[in-house]
A and B are shown apart, each in its own frame.
Chain A
Amino acid sequence: AQTVTQSQPEMSVQEAETVTLSCTYDTSENNYYLFWYKQPPSRQMILVIRQEAYKQQNATENRFSVNFQKAAKSFSLKISDSQLGDTAMYFCAFLQRPQGAQKLVFGQGTRLTINP
């Protein structure tokens, strides 16, 4: 079974700094998808960025980018020029497809606090 591990339970940085959240996963599949989701204190989960494993180029969405290392099974999220609104729980997730279903397997999450 696929597992997702986020080794940083909490992180805190100053506004405008750059922060990197770590994620590792375990799978025997070759083609898969990885995601970073953000869950602000209101608890509405929002997709931040996704990466297709077959693409070598790292995904980028404005201030958010990933460092995808397929051989190392590592998928870190970098937030540049961090803002107060970035304060949230961040979850790394792996997409499983058992028998045609579409199941997201989440890590334990990293609580990120941006300080003014």
Chain B
Amino acid sequence: EAGVAQSPRYKIIEKRQSVAFWCNPISGHATLYWYQQILGQGPKLLIQFQNNGVVDDSQLPKDRFSAERLKGVDSTLKIQPAKLEDSAVYLCASSLQHRGLNTQYFGPGTRLTVL
């Protein structure tokens, strides 16, 4: 079974530029999560989708971050404009559903460096 796929693996941009990350969850997984992991810290949930609807985006900085999952499968996370403090690894995870207890499976992450 293929795991969670993410691209690109690495990205370097200047501050105030825009950037987008892509995630393809495990086939059949209805729930998709985006986490931000700053160096030296644990991951922090940014947004959670159930199919193509948002379940929780309470920690997403909506003035600069946006995410979509239009067809309920793959998802895109965008930052516009980027700030220095956005430098982090962005992890995507998926699970079968969001109710009950479902293991979250993580992708390899995208390491973003903002200069």
Which A residues are closer than 8 A to B by beta carbons?
4, 33, 37, 42-47, 50, 52, 91, 93, 95, 98-104, 106-109
- A108:B98 contact, CB within 8 angstroms: no
Identify which of A42, A93, A106 gathers the most chain B CB atoms within 10 Å of its CB: A106
- B45:A103 contact, CB within 8 angstroms: yes
- B42:A108 contact, CB within 8 angstroms: yes
CB-CB contacts below 8 Å: B34-75 with A = 40-45, 48, 55-56, 58
CA distance A91 to B89 in the complex (A): 15
- Given A98-B56, A100-B98, A102-B98 in contact, is the A108-B40 Cβ separation under 8 Å? yes
Contacts of B91 in A (CB 8 A): 45
- Given A43-B89, A43-B108, A43-B109 in contact, is the A106-B95 Cβ separation under 8 Å? no
- Given A45-B91, A95-B101 in contact, is the A104-B45 Cβ separation under 8 Å? yes
Which B residues are closer than 8 A to A by beta carbons?
3, 31, 40-45, 48, 55-56, 58, 89, 91, 93, 95, 98-99, 101-109, 111
Pull 17 A–B residue pairs with CB atoms less than 8 Å apart, ordered by A.
A4-B42, A42-B108, A44-B109, A45-B43, A45-B93, A47-B103, A52-B101, A101-B56, A102-B95, A102-B102, A104-B43, A106-B42, A106-B43, A108-B41, A108-B42, A109-B40, A109-B41
Q: How far is the CB of A22 from chain B (nearest CB, A)?
A: 15
With both beta carbons as reference points, the residue of chain A lying nearest to B4 in the complex is identified as: A44
Contact of B44 among A45, A47, A106 (CB under 8 A): A106
- B56:A99 contact, CB within 8 angstroms: yes
Contact of B106 among A4, A44, A98, A108 (CB under 8 A): A44
Q: How far is the CB of A97 from chain B (nearest CB, A)?
A: 9
Identify which of A42, A44, A107 gathers the most chain B CB atoms within 10 Å of its CB: A44
Nearest 9 Cβ contacts at the A-B interface: A106-B42, A45-B106, A101-B56, A101-B55, A102-B98, A43-B109, A103-B45, A44-B108, A91-B42
